[in-house]
């Protein structure tokens, strides 16, 4: 299975990805790790995005070919990433699962950005963008809101979680959605949680 996480910076993707991995043994491919390494090698931030996604998908494919389940920790603002992930999963005969963290209360997310220790490719704080860039839409809140509106997702079989929800509750819901491979034979999906 290839699990695509999606959401804006500070929405809790990495925490959820690592919690899923801890609970299941799945492997996390974190695009911020890859992008920070690429930027650290001298590639400009603006040029690092496409290279990062190509590298992340190549790594995910290799892990899937080894029989591992992969959690791709990245925002999903581009249809190309969604389509590429689905194609790779389909070619390998594995399920493509999609979990989006959705923000309603921007004060919570902005607070999280101030609490974390960012990588070089990440938004630095609630007031400071990714180093070497400006806030694309003028202010932190306006930029994050615009980025969230740009998120893409499949037409069917995907899950939206409340980014401000309790991490334990989000993990439980995610594991039910991912099904038996993630949570044992009684795993399943609560209809209220699944968007179709």
Q: What is the pTM of this model?
A: 0.89
The pairing of strands 158-162 and 96-102 is: parallel
Tokens found for residue 58 = 């190549």
Distance from C-alpha of 148 to C-alpha of 75, rounded to nearest angstrom? 9
Which DSSP symbol is given to 121?
Answer: T
Average pLDDT estimate for 123-132 = 88
CATH number for the domain running over 2-105+153-195: 3.40.50.300
Residue 45 pLDDT class (50, 70, 90 cuts): confident
For position 183, what pLDDT does the model report? 52
132: left (phi over 0), alpha (psi -120 to 50) or beta: left
For position 189, what pLDDT does the model report? 39
Query: Could you write out the DSSP letters of every residue in 28-46?
Result: EEEHHHHHHHHHHTT--HH
Strand-pair partners of 27: 70
Give the number of other CB atoms < 10 A from CB of residue 32: 19
Between the alpha carbon of residue 184 and those of residues 1, 43, 90, the distances in Å are: 15, 43, 23
């Amino acid at each position: 299975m290839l699990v695509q996480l999606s959401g804006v910076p500070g929405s809790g993707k990495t925490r959820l990805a690592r919690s899923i991995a801890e609970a299941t043994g799945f492997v996390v491919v974190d695009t911020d790790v890859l992008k920070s390494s690429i930027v650290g090698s001298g590639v400009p931030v603006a040029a690092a995005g496409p290279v990062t996604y190509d590298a992340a998908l190549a790594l995910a494919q290799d892990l899937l070919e080894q029989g591992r389940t992969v959690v791709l920790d990245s925002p999903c603002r581009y249809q190309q990433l969604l389509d590429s992930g689905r194609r790779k999963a389909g070619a390998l005969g594995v399920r493509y699962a999609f979990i989006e963290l959705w923000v309603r209360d921007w004060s919570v997310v902005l607070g999280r950005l101030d609490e974390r220790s960012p990588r070089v490719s990440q938004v630095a704080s609630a007031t400071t963008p990714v180093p070497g860039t400006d806030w694309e839409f003028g202010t932190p809140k306006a930029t994050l809101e615009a980025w969230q509106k740009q998120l893409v997702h499949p037409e069917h079989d995907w899950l939206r979680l409340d980014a401000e929800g309790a991490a334990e509750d989000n993990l439980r819901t995610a594991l039910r959605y991912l099904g038996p491979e993630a949570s044992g034979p009684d795993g399943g999906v609560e209809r209220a949680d699944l968007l179709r």
